């Protein structure tokens, strides 16, 4: 394995064998990265999309790597992409998601540390774009997921208006509001 190849590294740490909503976690991660690339996102955000669940998420049991391996992951994907992947994985969704679109949206809730801290607008924008890419990929890959969660996701994504790219907004509206 090339130490700098993020795709090969995911396979090496078990993403192909990690079950997910519509196949392996590796498939979902690669498809999330593709959505972000299709929207013209910068490379660090695309790679964060590829690694967004490396530490697990509030919606996934288990992880490919513990947060004690952040340095190793950063060496593979770069510091910016790793920080975004950490932010996504660390999100305490029940606390933070309702804050998006409110004056409290820059106060992040970290499930790993149990703490809350300020995040900047650029980090919030990246978090929102990554959130939409992740959830939209699931909705596109699984009709059952789409049927069950489309209304809830649409409500969350509407609160993200002005925080995501026009391409991202067009994509989720086309997929979820038909």
Of 17-21, 75-79, 81-85, least confident by mean pLDDT is 17-21
Instruction: Supply the pLDDT for residue 20.
Output: 64
pTM for this predicted structure: 0.93
Residue 115 predicted with pLDDT over 70: yes
Instruction: Supply the pLDDT for residue 1.
Output: 36
Q: Calculate what percentage of the chain has a pLDDT beyond 90.
A: 76
**CA 34 to CA 13: how far, in whole Å?**
20
Angle at which helices 121-141 and 43-51 cross, to 10°: 50
Instruction: Supply the pLDDT for residue 64.
Output: 80
Instruction: Supply the pLDDT for residue 15.
Output: 72
More confident residue, 20 or 40: 40
Taking only the tens place, the pLDDT of each residue in 125-174 is 999 999 999 999 999 999 999 999 999 999 999 999 999 999 999 999 99
What average pLDDT is seen over the chain? 91
Q: Where do the DSSP E strands lie in the chain?
A: 19-20, 23-24, 107-110, 115-118
Tokens of 36: 């972000």
**CA 47 to CA 34: how far, in whole Å?**
10
Beta bridge mates, 19:
24
Taking only the tens place, the pLDDT of each residue in 52-77 is 999 988 887 778 888 999 999 999 99
Would you say the C-alpha torsion 42, 48, 95, 136 has a positive or negative sign? Answer: positive
Instruction: Supply the pLDDT for residue 2.
Output: 41
DSSP letter for 148, please.
H
Which domains, and CATH codes, for the chain? 6-176 (1.10.3210)
């Amino acid at each position: 394995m090339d130490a700098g190849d993020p795709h090969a590294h995911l396979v090496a740490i078990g993403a192909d064998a990690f079950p997910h909503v519509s196949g392996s976690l590796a498939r979902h991660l690669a498809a999330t990265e593709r959505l972000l690339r299709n929207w013209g996102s910068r490379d660090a955000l695309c790679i964060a999309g590829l690694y967004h669940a490396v530490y697990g998420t509030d919606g996934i049991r288990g992880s490919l790597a513990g947060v004690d391996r952040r340095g190793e992951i950063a060496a593979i994907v770069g510091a910016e992409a790793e920080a975004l992947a950490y932010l996504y994985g660390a999100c305490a969704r029940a606390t933070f998601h309702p804050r998006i679109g409110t004056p409290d949206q820059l106060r992040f809730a970290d499930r790993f540390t149990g703490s809350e801290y300020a995040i900047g607008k650029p980090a919030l924008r990246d978090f929102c774009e990554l959130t939409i890419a992740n959830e939209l990929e699931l909705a596109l890959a699984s009709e059952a997921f789409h049927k069950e969660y489309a209304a809830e996701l649409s409500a969350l994504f509407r609160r993200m208006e002005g925080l995501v790219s026009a391409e991202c907004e067009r994509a989720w509206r086309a997929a979820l509001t038909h």
